[in-house]
Amino acid sequence: MRIVTVRRVSQGFFLGWFLWFCAVTAFGEGRFQARGWPLNLFLQLDPLPALATTLATGTLYAGLLWALATVVLTVVLGRAFCGWVCPFGTLHQAIGWMGRRLRRGQRARVNQPSRLQGIKYFVLAAILASASADLVRGSASLAGHLSPALQAVAAAAACLIAFLAISRLVRSRSRAAAWSIAMVGLWALAGRVLPGDEVFASTDLVGWLDPIAFLTRGMGTVVLPLLDRSVGLFFSAPRHVQGGALLGILLAASLLANLAIPRFFCRFLCPSGALMGLLGRNALWRVARTTASCSQCAACDADCEGACQPSGAIRTSECVLCMNCLPACKETVITFRTRPSEAGEHPLPDASRRGVLLSLASGFALAPILRLGAEAGAATPPALVRPPGALPEPQFLDRCLRCGQCMRICPTGVLQPAGVETGIEALWTPVLNNRLGTSGCQPNCIACGSVCPTAAIRPFTLDEKLGRAGHHATGPVKIGCAFVDRGRCLPWAMGRPCIVCQENCPVSPKAIVLEPWVEALREGPWQVSGVDAGTVRLAGAPLRPGRIAGGDYLIASALMPGLGLSLRDNTTDSVVLARPEDAANLAIGTRVEIRVRLHRPYIDPVRCTGCGVCEHECPVAGLRAVRITSENESRDPRRSMVRE
Amino acid sequence: MARSRPGSSLTETRVGLAILLALVAIALALLLQQFRYDPDRYRLGALAGSPSGAPDSLPLPAGTVPVTPQEHFDAVTLSDKIDGRADLYLAAGFQGLRCRRFASSVGDPDVVEACAYDLGSPGNAYAVWSQQRRAGAPDAEIGENSYATSNGLFLASGRFYLEILAARGGAQALLQSRSFAVAFLAANAGATTTAGDAAAEGTMLPAQGRVAGTETLLAKSAFGLDAFDGVHVARYLLDGKEASAFVSSRASPAEAALLASALREALLAQGAQPVAPPAGIPGAWAVDAAGWIEIAFTRGAVVAGVHEADARPAADALAASLWASLQKVGP
Amino acid sequence: MTEASPEVSRREFLVRAARAGATLAVAGAAAVALHDPRAPSGSATLATSSGPPLPDWSLKDDGPRMAIITGRDRRRTLERGLDALGGIGRFIRPGDRVLLKPNAGFATPPDLGATTHPDVVQAMVRLCLAAGARSVVVTDNPVGDPDTSFRLSGIAEAAEQAGATLLFPRESMFRAVSLQGSALIRDWPILAGPFDGIDRVIGICPVKDHMRSGATMSLKNWYGLLGGRRNLFHQRISEIIRDLSMLVRPTLVILDGTTVMRRNGPTGGALDDLEIANTLIASLDPVAADAFAATLLGRQPGDLPWLAMAAAAGSGTADWESLKPRREAVD
């Protein structure tokens, strides 16, 4: 049995499972639904989300511990995950294979290592730096809490440690001393100058480019919604995706790029692969050449997936252990063994130190730049309505992988990937869009919190969501508050009866209350010009026939007590009384108006949970007349409008 | 294809088999994992336990707030609430009274008081409602038996009689009264499905000449006769003369005949004089009670007649049309 | 062929294995140490320190507690007021770090009386420094733009000329605090940074009408320490003033009633809104000071519910006469 065959089986195996998990990430416990499947297994195995969220939050949440298995695998063997497990890598490899050149020389050329493969290490550095800003600030400002004497002692100790570390790298002792003092001084300065506000903070941007998050998001927001159009297996109703075009284009581009260069994403962009390239630096086994020289036929390079140049001094950090070079070698000088290659090795990636430093600095600067608009603070976009259970915004952004699992499993599809209009930092994080989906946030559903791999949406119970059984004090979870736009609401602005928002409000007692109201049609008044067996003829503006049928309309004169006489129907110039005998109350020549019975909606901000069912149902189809915005969300008490 | 390599294919095969075995193990673990889950995670939970009104609390219309807590009265305490009229309700099988005051939640100070009398049966409720009906009050169009006044709504629905009165009778308060009535009917749908039955017997009363809104059900002791219950009465205006017609279904023809003669005896005992019975109605009798003509007859188990007619021709005409009406109804 | 000798390659492998082992050990230890099987808690409740958010700066000696001085010259009435209470030395010891909290709430000129008059701020700073204070900090979180408000109100110039340090609020100076016994100051940012290391706190404020709370004087002056979207608290103005009286226990408060804003408070905007009262109050008891100052606005302490609430919270007494205030006049 050839190892390449085993690798292909393994790739197919894991891709199959990944696709299966994507397919069954569906609300419910049926055969093709979530049940107990480990839906986040691949997200949890990926070491980068685990590392980034740990840096950002200081904790390694629950299932992310699985990443340790991949770390062990990688430290012992190198990037086996990339070549054997990663479903995105498998897709790239498959598409690259389809687009492969026919001539071996061409293939070998395409697979030569490129300096651009260093980009992914810059991406990694920027991601990890932006995630660790809180950590850096926290440790840099530690000294500030000490007394001056202790600060001096701490500085001296730090200088000593730095000197010991640096003196191993720098030959000259004086230079090492200078470096160590400069570094500690810089560190102390950082503790002084790093701003103590919310702008300089960590943010977890790993989800934008992490391969598993990328593919999971692509499956949930692009592939499955499209497939579902024809097979109808994955969602209960056709699913629409806010900003789906961009997501689709990016997914397609990432896959089609393999036609130009195989494993394009893996080689140039994948920050997780970069991390594993570093972790595998001391791998015990590696692909190696058994001889110092060979015929340089480049057959091995022609099929190399990682562009690690097995024909020469192999770049171990780029090797994805595809093992194609083993059978390709006619001279059988390539093998997998514990000893390093006789042709030499490049154990470190081809990424310049200056570039990495620049990337780290850019990463630190990223969150402050992204937060200049204070979208996670004073200027939270009103449309940024987070799912129930979402952590307060800064902590949420420390965790969210933008993997889209919450959106995928949301039974109504109201959870949608945020676009850039709610801040670039929030791109592809979950927000509620009550116009898409089949309804608002269902009051008796806790799926998003249950599925979230990082607890950006923390797991919550139904009792907690509804504020019952021991959660009375905190009350129901509020994700926002409904507001009535009186200029657009039918009964408020247009004299048309409508109670849709109130009747659909799922909160008990209802958070929308209706105030009865009666007003006269603006076409009026009219004058009674004839009364005949319950039909009252009117002189005045013509009425559209049937306009006032339906029981909501009354005819009344100024002198009549009560609301007026109920109407049943009308023609252009007459109305029909619901009770013919009422005609006795209308003398010819009486000035009358036609009144409509309305109910005007009001929101009770204490009861409203922001579920959005009212907004979804509102008959004003475009910009709804009742809309949810994120004010009053219970995850951040400072954004409450009412102080109870 | 076989290819010889140092270190070679035996190791490779072993490693490959070991990896494949590991994959099989992973697959088994995953398959087993799917059975272990918390069923509450991915299914819609029960909403029960969310706060809701006690089963016997009166509804609060949308847009209103309660002004006082709900009050309850039983047969003993009823007169605390309605001193003068308590006997009417008690006679009609009164079971209980619930009252609630509410007012608009946004400003309007007009307080509405809603009272729901439980009278045990639709007949009793209809009787109470019909006996207190104000002549000429328009139909409120809520259920089958309702009327409205300038500040109130009055309904008989199922075994309930509802009185909803707004203190000032403003438009908003009247709308809230309606909302209450509709909500009450919705909440008591089971108890109100027989709303029309009580009045159904009354349809035996002829329509011609009937003064609208005067149909009344006398639940007990009609015309001073203890045994005479469940009597539908309506007032008529015939050629400028007033008269009432009554009709009541009894358990058997014998009981009907007995009641008819008991009524005659009672009238004669009060000093009425027998006069010639109306023509064309078998078994009918007529008396003149101090200028008012009283007529009664039976048809099957139904006893019917004319009460307090101003003049003989009107009495005869009404009796004839009542008889004709009874012919249409049944055998 | 320059193949490495077996020993060299074995040593290389051992070194590599040791490094890999170390990597795994570090990664594994960190992962296990930082592993958090439970999710973080839901809402942004951060500060739940058990102690009071700010120290208690009030004086507990037996000296006189309140002085009411009439006169037109703010500097002289202030000096006389402090003398009446036992002299500045009772409040400021050499080396003290003093914080003055004026009302710099609005970007309006001093003549309009919406902010603390610069003369009284300047006089107070000079007195503190003359009494040996090491430093005097003047700070407030104005409603309007801080820089403009401090400049236009004249407070900035007056304080700086006298040698005080102006501290404009910055985000890093705010700390989220929870005040025990307060339903409103829960996890709420207050301007706490300037109070770090402060030995004496003196509130200096004008006497003004206030639409929502009736009057704004020495207690409402602490509203300027609140950060965040504090206008939320206008929904429950009396409670927040009571809570502020619990949050800050000052050494001394100065109420400058030389002119008082009788109408259209707290911003006023016209000289017509002001009246000359020629009174300055220096008090160790802010509740008593406000209770008396209310009379300058033509109000009785009973008109201002927060006075009784603050008194009940232990912040002072609304019965100012019980303190037997020293009354003196400066001509």
Q: Among residues B192, B224, B243, which one ends one of the domains?
A: B192
Which pLDDT value is given to residue C1? 41
CA A228 to chain centre: 21
Residues of chain B whose pLDDT is less than 50? Answer: 1-4, 6-7, 49-55, 193-195
Residue among C197, C228, C188 at smallest CA distance from C47: C188
How close A643 gets to chain C, by Cα (Å)? 7
B107 within domain boundaries: yes
**Are residues B40 and A446, on separate chains, in Cβ contact within 8 Å?**
yes
**Are residues A638 and C36, on separate chains, in Cβ contact within 8 Å?**
no
The mean pLDDT of A33-45, rounded to a whole number, is 93
Is residue A636 less than 8 Å (CB to CB) from chain C?
Answer: yes
The mean pLDDT of A420-442, rounded to a whole number, is 93
Give per-residue pLDDT as tens, B167-198.
Answer: 877 777 888 888 888 888 877 765 554 445 55
Which pLDDT value is given to residue C324? 92
Which pLDDT value is given to residue A639? 82
What confidence tier does C50 reach under pLDDT thresholds 50, 70, 90?
Answer: low
Res. A29: pLDDT tops 90? no
Same domain for B69 and B155? yes
Euclidean distance between the first and the last CA atom of chain B, given in angstroms as a whole number:
104
Q: Which two tokens stand for residue C242?
A: 């009571």
Q: Could you tell me which residue, B223 or A517, shows the higher pLDDT?
A: A517
Q: How many beta-carbon pairs under 8 angstroms link A with B?
A: 147
The mean pLDDT of A170-189, rounded to a whole number, is 80
Give per-residue pLDDT as tens, C168-225.
Answer: 998 888 888 888 888 888 888 899 999 999 999 999 999 998 888 888 999 999 999 9
**Are residues B33 and A597, on separate chains, in Cβ contact within 8 Å?**
no
Res. A630: pLDDT tops 90? yes
B37 within domain boundaries: no
| Contact residues on chain C for A338, CB-CB shorter than 8 A | 13
**Are residues A637 and C38, on separate chains, in Cβ contact within 8 Å?**
no
Question: What string of DSSP letters covers A180-209?
Answer: HHHHHHHHHHHHHHS--SSSS-----GGGT
Q: Which two tokens stand for residue A524?
A: 């009026």
How close C25 gets to chain A, by Cα (Å)? 10
Which pLDDT value is given to residue C49? 56
Q: In this structure, which amino acid lies at residue C126?
A: R
Which pLDDT value is given to residue B49? 39
Instruction: Provide, rounded to the nearest whole percent, the portion of chain A with pLDDT above 90.
Output: 61
Q: Does an interface of 3+ CB pairs under 8 Å exist between C and A?
A: yes
Res. A139: pLDDT tops 70? yes
Q: Which of B12, B46, B52 sits opposite A1 (nearest CB)?
A: B12
Which pLDDT value is given to residue B25? 96
The mean pLDDT of A42-64, rounded to a whole number, is 94
Res. A271: pLDDT tops 70? yes
Same domain for B116 and B184? yes
pTM for the predicted model, two decimal places? 0.73
Which pLDDT value is given to residue A644? 66
**Are residues C40 and A391, on separate chains, in Cβ contact within 8 Å?**
yes
The mean pLDDT of A461-476, rounded to a whole number, is 83
The mean pLDDT of A173-195, rounded to a whole number, is 78
The mean pLDDT of A227-241, rounded to a whole number, is 88
| Contact residues on chain A for B42, CB-CB shorter than 8 A | 27-29, 33-35, 409, 447, 450-451
B259 within domain boundaries: yes
Instruction: Provide, rounded to the nearest whole percent, the portion of chain C with pLDDT above 70.
Output: 96
Same domain for B123 and B210? no
What confidence tier does A11 reach under pLDDT thresholds 50, 70, 90?
Answer: very high
Q: Among residues B159, B192, B225, which one ends one of the domains?
A: B192
B169 is in which domain, residue-wise? 64-192
Q: What is the Cα–Cα distance from A460 to A406, expressed in whole angstroms?
A: 13
Instruction: Provide, rounded to the nearest whole percent, the portion of chain C with pLDDT above 90.
Output: 64
Do the domains A517-601 and A393-466 match in fold?
no
The answer to whether the Cα torsion of B167, B171, B177, B181 is positive or negative is: positive
Res. A605: pLDDT tops 90? yes
How close B250 gets to chain A, by Cα (Å)? 34
Give per-residue pLDDT as tens, A147-179.
Answer: 777 778 877 888 888 888 777 766 788 888 888
Res. C23: pLDDT tops 90? yes
| Contact residues on chain B for A519, CB-CB shorter than 8 A | none
The architecture that CATH gives domain C66-329 is 3-Layer(aba) Sandwich (3.40)
**Are residues A36 and B63, on separate chains, in Cβ contact within 8 Å?**
no
**Are residues B52 and A411, on separate chains, in Cβ contact within 8 Å?**
no
Which pLDDT value is given to residue B289? 85
pLDDT mean across residues, chain A: 90
- State the best of C5, C48, C232, C241 to mutate against chain A, taking most chain A CBs within 10 Å: C232
Same domain for B211 and B148? no
Q: What is the Cα–Cα distance from B98 to A95, expressed in whole angstroms?
A: 76
Q: Which of A9, A327, A445 sits opposite B44 (nearest CB)?
A: A445
Neighbour subunits, C (≥3 Cβ pairs < 8 A): A
Residue of C nearest to A632 (CA): C232
| Contact residues on chain A for B9, CB-CB shorter than 8 A | 1-2
B59 within domain boundaries: no
Same domain for B89 and B184? yes
Which pLDDT value is given to residue B8? 53
Same domain for B301 and B215? yes
Q: Could you tell me which residue, C253 or B55, shows the higher pLDDT?
A: C253
B49 within domain boundaries: no
The architecture that CATH gives domain A517-601 is Beta Barrel (2.40)
**Are residues C31 and A65, on separate chains, in Cβ contact within 8 Å?**
yes
Q: Does an interface of 3+ CB pairs under 8 Å exist between B and C?
A: no
| Contact residues on chain A for C183, CB-CB shorter than 8 A | 644
Count of structural domains within chain B: 2
Using the structure block, give the residue that is written with the tokens 């791999």.
A453
Please check whether residue C155 is in contact with residue C138, taking contact to mean a CB–CB distance below 8 angstroms: yes
Same domain for B183 and B289? no
Q: Which two tokens stand for residue A73?
A: 């695998």
Q: What is the Cα–Cα distance from A338 to A313, expressed in whole angstroms?
A: 16
Residue window 51-80, chain A: list those with CB within 8 Å of chain C: 54, 57-62, 65, 67-68, 71-72, 75-76
| Contact residues on chain C for A282, CB-CB shorter than 8 A | 16-17, 19-20, 23
Residue A312 sits at φ, ψ, to 5 deg, of -125, -140
With a cut of 0.90, is the ipTM above it? no
What confidence tier does A307 reach under pLDDT thresholds 50, 70, 90?
Answer: very high
Same domain for B206 and B250? yes
Residue of B nearest to A602 (CA): B63
Is residue A197 less than 8 Å (CB to CB) from chain C?
Answer: yes
Euclidean distance between the first and the last CA atom of chain A, given in angstroms as a whole number:
72
The H-or-E segment that residue C82 falls in is helix C74-84
Residue B287 sits in a domain whose CATH number is 3.40.1000.20
**Are residues C24 and A198, on separate chains, in Cβ contact within 8 Å?**
no
**Are residues C171 and A196, on separate chains, in Cβ contact within 8 Å?**
yes
Which pLDDT value is given to residue B108? 63
Give per-residue pLDDT as tens, C119-152.
Answer: 999 999 999 999 999 999 999 999 888 888 899 9
Domain locations along chain A = 3-127+206-346, 142-193, 393-466, 517-601
Which pLDDT value is given to residue A152? 80
What confidence tier does C251 reach under pLDDT thresholds 50, 70, 90?
Answer: very high
Q: Which of A469, A513, A562 sits opposite B148 (nearest CB)?
A: A562
Domain A393-466 annotated CATH 3.30.70: yes
How close B127 gets to chain A, by Cα (Å)? 24
- State the best of A135, A282, A333, A391 to mutate against chain C, taking most chain C CBs within 10 Å: A282
Neighbour subunits, B (≥3 Cβ pairs < 8 A): A
Which pLDDT value is given to residue B19? 95
Please check whether residue A342 is in contact with residue A321, taking contact to mean a CB–CB distance below 8 angstroms: no
Q: Which two tokens stand for residue A486?
A: 């009186």
Residue of A nearest to C5 (CA): A339
